[in-house]
Amino acid sequence: MRFPLFIFIILLLVVQCFSQTGNQSPQVLEQELQLDWIFSRADSTKWFEAIVPGCVHTDLLHNNLIPDPFAGVNENLCQWVGEKDWVYQSFPFDVSDETLENKTIFLRFNGLDTYADVYLNNQLLLSTDNAFRSWEVDVKKTLKTKDNILKIHFHSPLAVGNRKIAELNYPLPGDALRAVTRKPQFHYGWDWGPKLITCGITKSIELIAFSDARFAHVYLYQQSINNNVAEVQLEFEIFSNYSGNALLHIHSTAFRDVMVSEIKLKRGANKILLPFEIEKPQLWWCNELGDQHFYHFDIRLYSDEKLLDLEKIRTGLRTIELVTEKDDVGESFYFKLNGKPLYAKGANYIPASFFPSEADDETYQWLVESCADVHINMLRVWGGGVYEADEFYDLCDEYGILVWQDFMFACAMYPSDSSFVGGVIAEADEQTKRLRNHPCIALWCGNNEVSEGWHRWGWQDGLSTKHKNQIENAYHDVFNRALPDVVKKNTNTDYWESSPKWGRGDVRYKTEGDAHDWWVWHDEKHFEHFRENIPRFMSEFGFQSYPGLEVLSEMMSGDSLNANDPGIAQHQKHKRGFQLMDDYMKRWFPEVSKDSIANYVFLTQVVQAEGICMAIEAQRASNGRCMGSLYWQLNDVWPSFSWSSIDYSGEWKALHYMLKHYFSDDSTETRNFNPHFDWKNLSDPKVVVDLRKQEGVAWPIHVTTSSNAKYVQLTADMAGKFSDNYFDLEADEEKIILFYPRYETEIKPDVKARSLWDCWN
């Protein structure tokens, strides 16, 4: 068929026009400022090189102005840092004339910890008071073409916090100093981490400029989903400098053709809703229940064929709901994913690094991948830490790890003056909007153990009725009004007021809501307690162990690995931690000398693993009544003695390896801890390891033994993970184990084996 010439010309022009607009760069300029920085104590004239993003502790360390706060007893030598004010100043930077011609120019500070006065060219731009949010400020009139200088004065969180406490007309039980300050709560010290009250520019600083309009937020709201169709709508928040028409062009894997929609913008903030349907939707499932399918959206805002802004989002279609219904036991607590009840298998997650800017992509990859490897399908991001980096949630999406997301409140009562609540609302608004396109987000929870602390920990003792009422009203203002209102406004995700619902002193902890069971450990109950006391959903329970030998060596203040080393003691933050580990160990094993560090490390990890897995086995056996097991805790923020299953170096402890069996839906293997086992029937099993030729990234290891061996432990001279470890082996049995180096290498690892027999021989 021959086309008339004029039709051919028109088609050619259309194609050229679309090609040109499709390849345009957006009018909106978003540029991360790559600046050189210096810093100084506010009362000093000496300046030193700074690394931004970062914090004052890491900068002091890089300049050899403090010792490594994680080594030995050096934590004590760094306490003065939090008492001082600090000043950061950029080197002069230029901005192009083209950028300055834009109608709107602002700077976005993505993370400032915490009390900061920000100056540009000696003019005060803003004062900040929240490390959990970003800050945007208009710099159109302040920015110059040449030699712009940013200066940020950080005020001591201790000094400001004490002033805020003095201004309150009622006491705050728990820890008032951290409660009045919106910064990571664990920086003030926890029973698994140090006290290092830092400050600094923790995230990037961006220059954003535009003349017409820009996207503020884009959200794919999922209204309903079935096998045939998903009813959804794109929600756009657009800021415009003009009134008039615009076009939205939407390219997506959800449909074949480009969706084009004409919209009308007014000056200022605009909210646009665009409903549509996705046929035969492919669902996102959590780890091992199905595939993690994603839909991609490329959204472009045009005016008169000019590309104003471009936004890309990735999301998955799924329904997730928290089911809390009265039943014959009490009240249920479980998650339903895509209409199917889910048994949550997982852990509590604390920050990937004590200083959040130090966490890199590789660290996040290792932690999340390590979860998927052992059949974990849920992580609870604990409320005393941080809202994690985008990379963390992206990985949880990709590996199918659901996220129970706490708001950042833990173990204290909080104020509710208008300034504090206003800041909390801004924080919650930003974080819920930032994370709502992630299919992994399963729940927003108001706080960690605040309700339990108020009702069960004696916080009300000695308080007047007036003060009790003031504190309770403050609690309700934040956790029953402000936070649930924001979650409901911005998302379709459920909200849970406080974890746990009832403290362990309340008999209802076994029949309603979620539970934190610390009778084992804190109250020294036997592990059998876990079999006799099974809640509806176990969201916290745990037991300490030693870390691996590599981490222990980082703690030392002396030259030899000695249990009495002051540096070792410095890294045990639980007052009875060493005693409790020792007492529990003696219940099951013959005594072993702490001077035999390798043996002691091995046994503490075995006791931790068997105790926690005993609990998991009992909870999973009650599937239907109990619908979740989230142990405390996945990871560490510094070299420490803690409840973690992965130590500070990334090494898997015995617990993490055993989780692979107890969290598996396919395994029929049972490895019940037997306290009546006669350890003296044990003989030298003569475990032999034979390393074969590397296959892909893995090294096959053939393990054999001449007699029964219990808890065969494999170790390598390089970072990595084994396909199995701490396993039992019968006489003349051969087991093939794969070793996966953490970092790419062709060097043959040196693998050694030991078993329980070696602890006393």
Q: Are 545 and 581 in contact (CB under 8 A)?
A: yes
* Residue 59 scores a pLDDT above 60: yes
Token representation of residue 91: 């080197």
Dihedral of CA atoms 716, 720, 721, 727 in degrees, nearest 10, equals: 10
Beta bridge partners of 130: 182
Q: Rounded to whole angstroms, how far apart are CA atoms 567 and 348? A: 27
Q: Render pLDDT for 63-121 as a digit per residue (tens, 0 to 9).
A: 999 999 999 999 999 999 999 999 999 999 999 999 999 999 999 999 999 999 999 99
Which residue type does 268 have?
Answer: G
Determine the pLDDT at residue 672: 53
- Going along 671-725, which residue ranges are E strands? 688-691, 699-704, 709-716, 720-722
Q: What angle do CA 602, 606, 611 make, to 5 degrees?
A: 155
Over residues 432-483, the pLDDT tens digits come to 999 999 999 999 999 999 999 999 999 999 999 999 999 999 999 999 999 9
Provide φ and ψ at 269, rounded to 5°: -85, 135
Calculate what percentage of the chain has a pLDDT beyond 90: 91
Write out pLDDT tens, residues 521-575.
Answer: 999 999 999 999 999 999 999 999 999 999 999 998 877 777 788 999 999 999 9
Interval 340-384: pLDDT, tens: 999 999 999 999 999 999 999 999 999 999 999 999 999 999 999
Amino acid of residue 426:
A
Which of 340-344, 502-506, 508-512, 754-758 has the weakest average pLDDT? 502-506
Residue 264 contacts residue 274 (beta carbons within 8 Å): no
Q: How far is CA 216 from CA 48, 296, 303, in A?
A: 37, 18, 17
Backbone angle region of 305, left / alpha / beta, with phi > 0 → left and psi within -120 to 50 → alpha: left
CA distance 29 to 141: 17
Pairing of strands 259-265, 244-252: antiparallel
The yes-or-no verdict on residue 255 having pLDDT over 90 is: yes
pTM of the model: 0.95
Dihedral angle sign, alpha carbons of residues 573, 575, 578, 582:
negative
Position 630 scores a pLDDT of 98
Please state the rounded mean pLDDT for residues 159-172: 95
Instruction: Give the pLDDT band of residue 8 (cuts 50, 70, 90).
Output: very low
Please provide residue 511's backbone torsions phi and psi, each rounded to the nearest 5 degrees. Answer: -120, -10
